[in-house]
Structures are given as structure tokens and as C-alpha cells.
Amino acid sequence: MNAAVCPPKLFVRTVPLRGGADSLVRRLPAGAPLAWLTGDDGLVGWGRAAHWSPDAEPAGTEPTDTTRFTEAARWLNGVLERAVVEDEVGLPGTGAVAFGTFTFAPTSTGSTMVVPRVLLGRRGDRAWLTTVTDEPGVHPGELLYPAPAPRPVGPLSWDTGELTAREWGGVVADTVARIRAGELDKAVLARDLVARAEGPIDVRTLLERLHARYPQCFTFSVAGMVGATPELLLRREGEELSSLVLAGTRPRGADTEEDERLAEELMSSAKDVEEHGLAVDSLRDALAPLAEELAVPAWPHLLRLANVQHLATRAHARLRPGVSALDAVAALHPTAAVGGTPTATAMRLIDEVEGMDRGGYAGPVGWVDGAGNAEWGIALRSAHVDGATARLFAGCGIVAGSEPESEIAETESKFRPVREALTDG
């Protein structure tokens, strides 16, 4: 059954915080925190003033179906039309804000949009507090929720996911054969890993650790999906939109010499350059109908993170009048960097061979405000946390030149951020 809560009217007030918001994560109460953090900037929220979560589409639905995005946009527009907003700050992320996570496939459950009761934000040297109530002139009870320090995770047991590494390597080999036979050009295959704690996992602990270790990434928490993604699906401010494509990966070296060797190997790899080019072409084709202007560099640059380095391309666009951030999210998902090429063929193959439901993994995650400003990432380097269980995900782009052992090693590198964040000490 579709779950949607939208009071007849919401009263939204944003005020500046003159004392700042030094540690956004430390202000979050325990429970189901909402977060989007990068560098010193970010948004955190808690409580539910309004929320939406749809049913999964029935089996057999086209894998590129966008119903969940159009329904979310309709619900959000209804919320905003009935919102009375008093915004004393006027920056992206102020006023009415909804956090969201969308499933990778339309036939999965888990897509969610939430307008929090309380939101704290920071951008540069400015910080703010937003409260959302059903009546004017009152404070939400959630404003006074206690915020004890994040709890350690404690001892963990680790279990193989739906496929062992060896079984998944066999799936990679079979997929390479299908690519070489001309069935498709690329498929992004993922595997999972399960961690179990002795008690409920405090998501704030993961947020704090991930944000400290990967400040360049976008650390997020929405409806149980938590991670630190390097991949920005889109940022919209006014009519200007930017997007970052990552495809092609190497680990970081143990020293400067090895790091440079791996970087040069990545930049000169025909396999990785091909994989990256397919992802860039996918982005260009998706954005072109929505944009009055579109600029995409001809050659990728190198993006170095703490654990891996990627081929990266940043695109810029000016959207056509009337195109919303969620319109762009629907058009861009799934990119070739997380699905494959051709898109529908790759997604059908993923559903056939991965042996698992990705849920929100590799789906869009982020936020949008009432003025249309937004930041949405792709839920990578992530896990779904449910009580004492965390299910981790990692994937790789498979093309004709892929080798199973190398792809298994790449997934181990991509598990590492969340695996380390779950580990105390």
C-alpha cells in the first residue's frame, strides 16, 4: 500500500543560527536521522512533517519506468502548494526541504521522500535552523529531542551476501561472454556483504566516521540508506545544473610512486576509458532534451579519494524553463556508470544474474528545496541499515575487457569505506 502523509497545511520557518552549527551530526538525536554532508557544508534533519513511500511496481514493469519519480514530484508539489514559508536566510537548502531516496529498479520497495520537522544547515560561514509544524507560531516537539553521543557499533559478525566472491566472479565471466557476443556493451554488476551487530546500529556513528574519512564525498542518510558517495548525479541552483560522472577505478597506492603508477595505468587503460566514455555518452543523451545549453569535456580528469581513484568528467547545463530537479533525476537514472549500455538491456541482465534486490543501492539519494535547488547523488559506497544489520553493496562496470579477479578486487576496495566505518577502534 502506498504510504503518504501530507497535512492540510505546513508552516515552515527558517532562521539564522548566529552561533553556528559546529557539528551537524552531533546535533542529531538517535533514531532515523536524515543527512547530506560534504566538506564543512551540509543538512541534517529529524522528525517527519510529511512523508511519501510508494508501492513497488509489479514484476515485468520496464526497468526504465519512471513512475516513482513522477509520483514523488506530484506529492512534493502538493506539499509545497500548501506550505506557508517564512525564510530569513534564502540559501539553497532553506525553507521547505525534502530528503529522498529512490530504488535502483522500479520493482523494488524503498523509495521515500521525507520533509523533516527539524533541519539544521550550514553553507560556508552561514548556518540555519528550519522548523516545520502543522500550526503557526509553535515549535515542533522534535526540536527538544535529546542528542546523546553516537554509540560504538560493538562486535560484528560478517556473512556472505547472496553470492560468494567466487560465484560472483563466475557471473562476471558469463557477462563478459555475453558482451563479446554483442548482446550489450556494458553491465554494472554488484554484490553484497552482511554485517550483524549485537544491538541496533547507530547510524550517526557511521555518518561521523564516513564524513571524517571522506570529506570530499557526499555522506548521506535517508530511510536506512547510509554511505559516502563520490558520485554527484546532479546539483541544481536556479536553472544551472552540474553532474559528475565517475567510471573507471584503481586503488590508491601504498606510496607516491605506486599511486602515480596506478593513476597512469588508469588514464591509459583502453578498458577503463571505454567504460568511462559509455557513461559520459549516457549522461549527454539524457540531459540534452532537458537543457538549453550543455557542456561536456572531451577528456576525463583524475579524481583521487582516500581509498580509490577514478576517471571523472564534470558536465554543466542550463535547464529549459519548467524542468524540475526531479525531472532531471528521472532522466539521468540509471546512468551507464551504475546500470550499463544499452540501459534497458543492461538492467534486465542485472535483474537476471545478480541474485539480489539492490533496493536503494545505486539509486538516487539527496534533497530538494521549495525553490527547486537540489543535490542528488548516487547511493554508492553504501549500506542499508536495519536495526542490528547492515547490508553493504559494491559494484563494477563490466565491459569486453573485464577480468573476474580484477573486478572482485575492485569490489573489495569499494566495500572498505563502510566496512571500516562499522568497525570500532
Closest by CA to 398, choosing from 185, 170, 163, 166, is 185
Residues 284-289: contacts with CB within 8 Å, 24+ apart?
284/315, 286/331, 286/332, 286/335, 287/241, 287/243, 287/315, 287/317, 287/328, 287/331, 287/332, 289/331
Range list of β-strands (E), 124-275: 126-133, 156-160, 186-197, 218-222, 225-229, 232-237, 240-251
Active site residue 375: no
User: Using CA atoms, how far apart are residues 109 and 319, in angstroms rounded to an integer?
Assistant: 30
Catalytic option among 57, 208, 231, 407:
231
User: Using CA atoms, how far apart are residues 385 and 382, in angstroms rounded to an integer?
Assistant: 9
| Number of residues in the chain | 425
User: Using CA atoms, how far apart are residues 226 and 222, in angstroms rounded to an integer?
Assistant: 7
Compute CA 343 distance to the chain's CA centroid, rounded to the nearest angstrom. 19
206 to 24, 121, 152, 169, 417: CA distances (angstroms): 14, 19, 9, 29, 10
Active site residue 167: no
The DSSP line for 154-187 is --EEEEE-SS-HHHHHHHHHHHHHHHHTTS-SEE
DSSP 8-state symbol, 254: S
| Residue 276 near residue 311 (C-beta atoms within 8 A) | yes
Catalytic option among 186, 275, 375, 407:
186
3-state class (DSSP) for residue 277: helix
User: Using CA atoms, how far apart are residues 123 and 255, in angstroms rounded to an integer?
Assistant: 35
Please identify every residue annotated as catalytic: 186, 231
